Structure 1
Amino acid sequence: MTHLLTVPEGTVSYEVHGPDGGTTVVLVPGMGDLRSSYRDLVDPLVTAGHRVVVTDVRGHGDGTHAFARHGVEPTAQDVSALLDALGVDADHPAVLVGSSFAAGSVARVAALEPARVRGVALLAYAANDAPAGRAVTAQVRLLLARPWGAAAWAWFYGSLLKGRRATWTDAHLTDLRRALRTPGALGQLRRLALALTAGGHRTLLDQVRVPVLVVTGALDPETPDPAATHAATLATVPHDAVTGLLVPEAGHYPQHQRADLVAPALVDLVAGLPRTSGAPATGGDA
């Protein structure tokens, strides 16, 4: 069942699976993606006894398509509002999982609200702190223009799937094209993409004190050296309660390219976390 979260400027769509009594695990997709990209992670987490909440990002999915603000910070604010709606507090903290730019958003929530967050998982983490440059900005404007923008995005998304593909990948690409033909949706994706290429976003990963899992596709074409990028992300976390998974045969979307590896890693992450949060993770600076 689809729910709509009311936030400033519009609504954001999400769905809830699993028992109310389990740990709340919130899954946030990346730019131009849909919450269904996490479909292979939901059942393993629910089977482990957790309440799994899968959300779209603003301007995507079944919510409204007229947001003026986009990027790491607005998405973090939406995640925080979703935690409010779900009743997540210091007595019932959540685990946050984000993909690509949204990995930065969930890191930001963890840094600012550690009492409500038990741990975070960063999939294909992107800081978006530096501007991408005029050439990339021009390419984004061209790629996401009408009338070809929906098809062009599906093609670009597919180009990031280096390595294995899920059996449902072709159907997912069709869903992406269909979603972007919704009035206003392509413009929202374009606004988000331009906001990210402009840089200046602050994920606050260097201030996160809760345990962190970093997941990177070993073939991710978004970076010239995925292993080095993976190591740099691990090094940014300011404590020792950080683990990494460099996923073989996966590009920018390890959550569905290699769910056979990512799902168990997430289940293990949640199982190994303390029941409460709010205290600095072991091994870090006070």
Structure 2
Amino acid sequence: MNSTTVRGATIHYDDFGPSTGLPVLLIHGHPFNRTLWAPQVTALTEAGHRVVAPDLRGYGRSSVSTGKVLLADFADDLAALLDHLEIERAVVGGVSMGGQITMEFQSRHPGRVRALVLSDTSAPAETAEGKRFRNRLADRLLAEGMEGYAHEVIDKMLAAYNVTAMPEVATRVLEMMCATDPRGAAAALRGRAERPDYRDVLAAVEAPVLIVVGADDVYTPVAEAESIQHLVPHSVLAVVDKAGHLPGAEQPERFNAVLLDFLAARM
């Protein structure tokens, strides 16, 4: 693991694979860290790609910014990290909140995108109800910590049947959530409550786009992924069976096969 300071924050990140390989930037969701992508890092580096997987500010081992961290802040952090690594353009992909950061990155830094990977995410702006929910949840996490919330949502982060069928995966996901600093999680929630509408951004994308979704995702169902595909007619949509909101963790072999096929065909 490496670290660097960008835009006033210390960002910890993994950088694996040959420096000459196709750069792939993987962005975790809330409330996780870079290790969520461990199965993808292994598969991508074995295929000869270079993989950069950071802990977003406020998550993992990266420093915490309190108050509010906008998706734009995360996107600009990642652009600065690519500058530090002397990577001009990369395949940029994320899951859930990480997918929304990916869309924000496309909006703010389109010239740096070779392709997009959008997993289990949503493009419309946050609703008024969603804003209230995220701000209330931020207050709760600051008051109570992460553990109660983590146990409440584990059977939504993973398909409910996988919580019992895949105890090692469930434990790993729970440990990530419980280890997250509540201040970082709260700041991201408050920033995400201000999420803009990314549908026009997606409609204008000319780069290759892969959309992945777990067949049993209750947070961003298959219909959300299909709506993104309608916005980006040249995109590829893959529905991963026997998975919920985190198909890369629940069905890594299937997720990896889809991702590697996409990169092989279009890069």
The TM-score with structure 1 as length reference comes to: 0.82
Provide the residue aligned with 1:97 in structure 2: 93
Structure 1 unaligned segments of length 5 or more: list them: 275-286
Write the distance in 2 (CA, Å) between the matches of 1:262 and 1:200.
Answer: 28
1:236 maps to 2:231: yes
Provide the residue aligned with 1:255 in structure 2: 248
Correspondence for 2:216 among 215, 219, 224 = 219
Offset, 1:112: 4.0
CA contact (8 A) 2:66 2:183 kept: no
1:192 maps to 2:194: no
Which amino acid counterpart does residue 244 of structure 1 have in structure 2? L
Q: Aligned runs of 1:16-165 on 2, under 5 Å?
A: 16-89=15-88, 93-127=89-123, 129-133=125-129, 136-137=133-134, 139-141=136-138, 143-147=140-144, 149-160=145-156, 161-162=158-159, 163-164=161-162
Which amino acid counterpart does residue 210 of structure 2 have in structure 1? L
1:266 maps to 2:246: no
Provide the residue aligned with 1:278 in structure 2: none
Provide the residue aligned with 2:175 in structure 1: 174
Offset, 1:205: 2.2
SS in 2 for 1:173: helix
Write the distance in 1 (CA, Å) between the matches of 2:67 and 2:12.
Answer: 17
SS in 1 for 2:93: strand
Which amino acid counterpart does residue 177 of structure 2 have in structure 1? L
1:209 maps to 2:206: yes
Write the distance in 2 (CA, Å) between the matches of 1:199 and 1:108.
Answer: 9
CA contact (8 A) 1:24 1:53 kept: yes
The TM-score with structure 2 as length reference comes to: 0.88
SS in 2 for 1:221: coil
Offset, 1:47: 0.9
Write the distance in 2 (CA, Å) between the matches of 1:150 and 1:67.
Answer: 16
CA contact (8 A) 1:73 1:105 kept: yes
Structure 2 unaligned segments of length 5 or more: list them: none
Aligned-CA RMSD value = 2.2
Provide the residue aligned with 1:284 in structure 2: none
CA contact (8 A) 1:130 1:198 kept: yes
Q: Per the alignment, do residues 8 and 217 of structure 1 end up closer, same or farther by CA in structure 2, a change over 3 Å counting? A: same
Which deviates further from its counterpart, 254-263 or 113-122? 113-122
- Give the fraction of aligned pairs with identical amino acids, expressed as a percent: 26
Offset, 1:246: 1.3
Runs of 4+ in 1 over 6 A off after TM superposition: none
CA contact (8 A) 1:100 1:125 kept: yes
Offset, 1:168: 3.5
| Count of residues in Structure 1 that have an aligned counterpart in Structure 2 | 260
Once the two structures are superposed, residues 177-231 of structure 1 have per-residue CA deviations (whole angstroms, 9 ceiling, x without a partner) of 1x23xxxx211211211222344364722332200000111111114xx232121
Q: Per the alignment, do residues 201 and 195 of structure 1 end up closer, same or farther by CA in structure 2, a change over 3 Å counting? A: farther
Write the distance in 1 (CA, Å) between the matches of 2:198 and 2:118.
Answer: 15
Offset, 1:10: 1.5
Once the two structures are superposed, residues 54-113 of structure 1 have per-residue CA deviations (whole angstroms, 9 ceiling, x without a partner) of 111111111111244413211111121121112122xxx311111112212222323443
CA contact (8 A) 2:139 2:186 kept: no
CA contact (8 A) 2:27 2:95 kept: yes
Write the distance in 2 (CA, Å) between the matches of 1:174 and 1:43.
Answer: 21
SS in 2 for 1:222: coil
Name the structure where helix makes up a greater proportion of residues: 2
